[in-house]
Structure formats: C-alpha cells, structure tokens
Amino acid sequence: MVIKNRGELGFTPLRRFALDICEAGIRATLPAAVLPTVVNYDTNSQTLSITGQAHHIRNRVFVIGGGKASGAMAETLENLLPESRIMDGVAICKGGTYRTRKIRIVTAGHPIPDARGVHATADILALKDRYQVGTGDTVICLLSGGGSALLPAPVEGISLADKQLLTELLLASGAEIKEINLIRKHLSQVKGGKLGQHFAPAQVITLIISDVIGNDLSAVASGPTYPDQTTFADALVVLEKYHLTDKTPSNVIAHLRSGAADKMPETPKRLDNCHNYIIADGRVALEAMRQKAGELGFAPRIITTAQKGETATVARQRASEIIEGKYGRDDVLLLGGETTPVLPEEHGTGGRNQHFVGVSMRELKDFKGQWVVASLGSDGSDYLPDVAGAIADSTSWQTANESKLDTESYLKRYDSHTLLKSIGRCLVITGETGTNVGDVALYILKRQA
C-alpha cells in the first residue's frame, strides 16, 4: 500500500476512488515495476539491452547514481544482472531501506544538499582512479529527480554553504527547476555532463526516471551524463531575472563571471561515450491512472503531462475551466507536471501540492455537484518530508466554514499545511516511495443532473 493513511482519508467512496487512482500511477513508475520491462542482460552474448538497444559488456561494470529513486533502482538492477559482473558502486538517495550486495546506498540531504552528499559524490568520482576505470569498462548510472541536490560536488572556491544558500534563494524565488539546475551545472564538478566526461573513455549507460516536463535529458538531475548547451552567461541571466545577483555569495558571482569571460572551460557540449535512456516519466503514471479510473467505471481524461506555472494561478485556472464546463462529461481529470509557488516574505508551511489542493478547494466551492481534488508528489514529499500532498472534497470546505477557519488568510500566507491539518483528513502520507516522476493530480467530478 503506497498511501499509508488511506483508512483515515478514504471516508467516502469518491475519496477512496481518488486514492486508488493515485496509487496506481505511483506504482506504475516504481523501479521494481519499470526496470524488468526495459532492461535485459544476455549472459551468452554478454549484452545489456535497454529498451531494445544493445550494449556489449566487455569487462567490469560499475554502478553509480543519484536521485530519489536511485536506491530502489540499484536494488532492482542488482537482481537483473549477474552479481559477478558488478565490481563496485555507489548510489545516493534521500531515504528508504534497500537491500544491495555490491552497490553502496548512501542517504543524503534534499532539497538542500549536505555534507553526506558531498562525501558520497566524492566516492563516486574516486571509483575511476581506484579501479583505473577505462576502455572496455561499463559505468551504469542511475538517475532520477532529486539528483541535483543529492549529487553535490562544488567546484574549487565554492563551498557547500554557498550552494546551500543559493539553493534556498532559488527555491524561494519562483525560479523553474530548469533554471535552478542551469546554475547548478556551472558550480559543479559532475553536473552538466561532467560526470560522463569524468568516466571517459569507459562507456556510460544512464537509466533515467524523469520528473522533468518534456523529458529534457539535460535537466533531469542537472544532466550529469548528457551534453550541456547552456553557458556561464546563461546562469548569470537567471540570477538577474529573479533579482538574486546582490543576494548571491560574491564568490559564486565571481566564478560565474570568470566563466562567462572564457577564463575556465565550459560544460561539455559532446559526450560520445554516454548513452542516456528515459525508462519512466509522468506520462507512464498518468496512463496507469487513466487505466485504473476506467476500470473503476469513470470516463477519464488526461488534461496535461506538462502542468506548470505559479501554483495558485494554475489551481484557479483549472477550477474555472471545470465550473465553465470545458471538459464536458469527463468525470476524472488527470494532470502531471510541477507547479512553482512564489512565496511571500512572510509565509507559512506547506508545499506546492498542498497549496494546489487548498486553492482548488476554495475555487470549487460553487461547483454544482460533488467533487474531490488530490495532488501528490510521486516521490512522497511535498517539500515537507513527511507529507506527499493532499486530498480535499466538498466536505472539506464545509468543515473549514463550520470551524470558522480564515481560509483566505491561510492561502494568502501560503500556509496550506496548517489549513489542511486544521480541517483534518486531508494530508496524504506515503513515506519515501522510491520513485520520482514529478507531481500527479486529479479531480473526480460528480455533476448534478
């Protein structure tokens, strides 16, 4: 069972249906479900096939990785390859318990990188010299969302504290994840293709569970094994766009300006030794949700796999579309992607999924009929590590009114967690799921005749 508190949350049939549908989406993207369908190793030919593309495994295999799904990916991969083929490995994840024999699983900080991640990333880089990894060897890299924070390797002159401060500034600014990662690439020894470059001439095969809208390979985990076409100058533009130049540590600004002046190498623009494969993404989750909704007797529709924008604005837009009848008689609407809250200076507690549900609850109050809205981080964490997201329905709004909660004030302060906790039976708990394909959201609509 993915949702640990579903007994508390599922007190109406529509709520139980919503939880069933959300669980189906998350389950479909778990490494144990995905990897066996796309990865095959043939002992006789010593060939590793990924989605039908064959790679000859000549000598040793090393496994590395970073991201919220990397621990579960490593555990599953070890069961798909002969134990004797894997020489060593390190995978860095946010949490969870995994049983591996050869691959060391390390837990580190997310979304703010920490010293554990720095040390573990250094261990990954050290594999090359320790084993003299070279031609004929294969490095299998396991990446997923969260890898940017979990694979920290600051360049010389930039401290972990500098990166932590900058990450906090960017997260609060409303910058999109691609923009945040663009800057990270130019402050790192591994991001922006540098990890793949580090292990050349060994072949690097990267398996990716994507949380990035559009599956931009350069963006997932900041593309450590994929060529990067961005520049130091682009990073400076992002800081200027969000008015962060004066708030950013001076040595970070100096480093980026030095790179923009061609005083240090840019990120690699070509990586002939690297092969990257997306094995699961938000589309996989939404298709599984659509199938489950159909099995339950609904008429489901996938609205988008690329939902983005400011969280409250998007929630208001979707609610308006529903009330105006844009989606006809479809009674389950499915959405994937990742919105971006822009926090006021004095803000409360919560995450984008909780805030999306809180705003949706207010905006759907005039819907003619019964409704349920749910929005979850597929990784199990909606900024707060112990909350995956939220679910609300018509009774939630009624409870807020009867309890005389100042809903407007809570939402204005982006204090959605406190609001939903006060209403009760709204916060969804999953723990670390072992995957990360962004957020999944749904509406169930039971219109009046």
Q: How many degrees, rounded to 5, is the angle at CA 441 between CA 150 and CA 293?
A: 125
Euclidean distance between CA atoms 151 and 116, whole angstroms = 10
Average pLDDT, 10 consecutive residues per value, the chain (449 residues)? 94 98 98 97 95 94 97 97 95 93 95 93 98 97 95 93 90 85 94 97 98 92 96 96 95 96 95 97 98 98 96 97 94 96 90 98 94 97 93 95 94 97 97 95 92
Before 268, cis peptide (omega within 30)? no
pLDDT of residue 274: 98
Q: Which of 241, 209, 171 is nearest to 38 (CA)?
A: 209
Angle, CA of 442, 447 and 448, to the nearest 5°: 160
Query: Domains plus CATH for the chain?
Result: 6-27+282-447 (3.40.1480.10), 32-280 (3.40.50.10180)
Please tell me the predicted confidence (pLDDT) of residue 172.
83
- Supply the pLDDT for residue 303: 98
- Chain centroid to Cα 264, Å, comes to 31
| Whether 184 contacts 191, CB under 8 Å | yes
Burial of 110 (0-12, 13-18, 19+ CB in 10 A): buried
SS3 (DSSP) at 420: helix
277 and 206 Cβ atoms separated by less than 8 Å: yes
Query: What does DSSP assign to residue 32?
Result: H
The closest alpha carbon to 377, from 7, 71, 111, 38, belongs to 111
Instruction: Quote the pLDDT of residue 269.
Output: 96
d(CA 143, CA 251): 29
> Do residues 318 and 327 touch, judged by C-beta distance below 8 A?
no
pLDDT value of position 418: 97
- pLDDT at res. 415: 97
Tokens matching residue 27: 């389950």
The pTM is what? 0.91
